[in-house]
Structure 1
C-alpha cells in the first residue's frame, strides 16, 4: 500500500520537516517500547508521545535531538555519543566529543562526523513512531549514503503532526545505530548486528529507566 501523502499545515502547504530515510537504513539493534509509556491515557496524540520521548532524552542527558517525518508519524534522533564496549556512554566531556563542532547541525551532519571521529565506538538512537509496518533497508548506511541524508532536523514536532491521534495501530521502536572506527586509517562503519541488543543500549544510556518512570 502506498504511503499516505505528507501532512500539511493550516495553509495547505507541505510541512517543512525533513524526511527520515524510509525504510530506515539497516540498524545494529532495535527494541519495541511499551505502549503504556507513550500512550498511558485515552486520547493520546503523537504530540503527547513526543513529549514522553523528549522527557526521557532530557532525563538521560540527551539534551539535543532532531525531528524527522516518516510515513504515519515521526522519528526523533539523538546526538551521536561515544560508548564503551558494554554500551555505556563515556563520561563528560568525552561522551559528546565526536561532534562538538556540529552543535545545532542535523542528524546527517552528525553521522558524517562519525567517519572522521577518533577510533572507538559510537551510537545514534532513533525513536520511530508510526502506524506503518516496516523492515530495515537491506544495507547499513555508508559514508556517502549518510552524507546524502537530510542535513537538518526539526527542533520541534509540527502542530499538524502533533495533534494526530496515537491510534491503536501506532507503535514506537528504538533503532540503534552502532558505529565503530578501528583506526585512524579506517572509516567508521555501522555494526550489523551490534554487540549488544537494543534494550541493553537503552538501559545503559538511561533511556529505558526514564521511559518506564515517566
Structure 2
C-alpha cells in the first residue's frame, strides 16, 4: 500500500515540475515573439566583460525622441523589462569610477544632451520602479544624427587606440535618426589591487621636467617639529596636510632615489581658491588606485570653461632639470599610470639636509567649450598663493 502511495505521490510531483518547466520554457520562447523582442549586447577581451540585456522596440513610422519617448523623462532605454548592464571589473566613465556589478541602465533623452543613469534597481518593469536616490552614477552624453535605425539597437564597440587616448569601448544607443555614444574606460583586476610592490611603482617619465607655470620649495621649517628622518616620514607629513585640504587619490612615481607624486586635477577660481563642490574635483578619477595625466588632458578637452591646476610634488636631493620648452600635451601624455603609494624601497631611504620638497604648479585654462584647454606659462597666480588659497602649508 505504501509503495503504491509513494508511486502516486512521485508521479504527481513529477507532473507538477514538468508542467512548471514547460511553462517557463514556453514563456522564454514567447519572449522572442514579443513586438519588442529581447537582445543581448556583449563585449569581452579576456579580462573585461560587459553584458547589456535589453529589448528592441521598432519605430513603426513614429517620431521617436521628442515624440514617443518624451524629452526630459526617465526612459527604460528599450522596452519591456528594465534594461540591465553588467561589468565584471570596475570601469571609468567621464572620470568617475563605476564599481563592478549589475545595474539598471536608464536614460533621460533631450535634444542637446542625454543623461545616462546606472541605478541599483535592475529587476523592475520599465522605469516604473525607478528611484533617483538609488542612482550609482549619472553622466552626460551627446546625441548625434545617425542613419535611420528602425529597430532600437545597442552595440559595444572597441575604441581605436590609435585615434584616442582612452583604452576602452563605446556603448552606442541607436534608434530612429539618433545615436548616443558613451565612452567607457576599461580597468582590470590588477588595477583594482590597492597594494603595490616596489616593482609596481613606475619610474618618473621625464629626465627633463616640462616647465611648470610656477614652482617653489617648501620651507623645512614646516617640518621641523616632526623631525622626519626617512622619505616615508616626509611622505606621511605631506599626506596629512593634503588630506586636510581634501587632496586624495595621489599618483606616485619613483625618481631614482627619490619620489614624485601628482595631485588630482582641480578647478580653481580667479583668486586661486578651489572651486566649490561638486565642481572642484569634478574631473577627478575618484577611488582609483592609479592616476594618469594622459587621462587628465583627455578630460580637460571635454571640460567646461574654467581654470584648472595640477600640483606636482618632487622630493629630491638633486637639482631639478627642466626642459627649455614649455609643457606640451605630448609631453604630459607621457605620464602613464602611477601607483597609489610610495614604493617600499624608496620609503626606507633617509631624508637628509640635502633633500627639498619642490612644488610644481601647472595651470590650464579653457576659454571656450569648443577649444582644447591651454597651458598657462608663466602662471597667472604664484605657486605660494595657490597653496595658500588651497589651505596647504602657507595658511
Calculate the TM-score normalised by the size of structure 2. 0.47
Aligned to 2:20: none
Contact 1:180 1:188 in 2 (8 A): yes
* CA deviation vs aligned residue, 1:126-164 (integer Å, no higher than 9, x gap): 1110011123212233333322322x1111111110010
Aligned to 2:115: none
Q: Deviation of residue 72 (structure 1)?
A: 3.3
Aligned to 2:200: 16
Aligned to 1:135: 321
Equivalenced residue count is: 196
Q: Deviation of residue 14 (structure 1)?
A: 6.7
**Secondary structure of 1:36's match?**
helix
**Secondary structure of 1:156's match?**
coil
Q: Deviation of residue 41 (structure 1)?
A: 5.4
Aligned to 2:222: 37
Calculate the TM-score normalised by the size of structure 1. 0.83
Residue 254 (structure 2) pairs with residue 69 (structure 1): yes
Contact 2:257 2:346 in 1 (8 A): no
Change (3 A) 1:180 1:93: same
Aligned to 2:308: 122
Q: Find 1:147's aligned residue among 327, 333, 339.
A: 333
* CA deviation vs aligned residue, 1:40-95 (integer Å, no higher than 9, x gap): 45561111000011101101011221111113311111000101111111011010
Matches within 5 A, 1:97-116: 97-99=282-284, 103-104=287-288, 105-108=290-293, 109-116=295-302
* CA deviation vs aligned residue, 1:110-138 (integer Å, no higher than 9, x gap): 24322321111101101110011123212
Q: Deviation of residue 103 (structure 1)?
A: 4.9
**Secondary structure of 2:215's match?**
strand
Aligned to 1:3: none
Aligned partners of 1:37, 1:71: CA distance in 2, in Å? 25
Aligned partners of 2:227, 2:256: CA distance in 1, in Å? 23
Q: Find 1:168's aligned residue among 334, 353, 378.
A: 353
Change (3 A) 1:112 1:159: same
Change (3 A) 1:38 1:190: farther
Change (3 A) 1:160 1:84: same
Name the Cα RMSD after superposition: 2.1
Aligned partners of 2:228, 2:287: CA distance in 1, in Å? 35
Q: Deviation of residue 99 (structure 1)?
A: 3.6
**Secondary structure of 2:368's match?**
coil
Contact 1:23 1:136 in 2 (8 A): yes
Change (3 A) 1:185 1:51: same
Aligned partners of 2:232, 2:394: CA distance in 1, in Å? 21
Between Structure 1 and Structure 2, the one with more helix by share is 1
Structure scoring higher RCO (CA < 8 A, sep ≥ 6) equals 1
Aligned to 2:210: 25
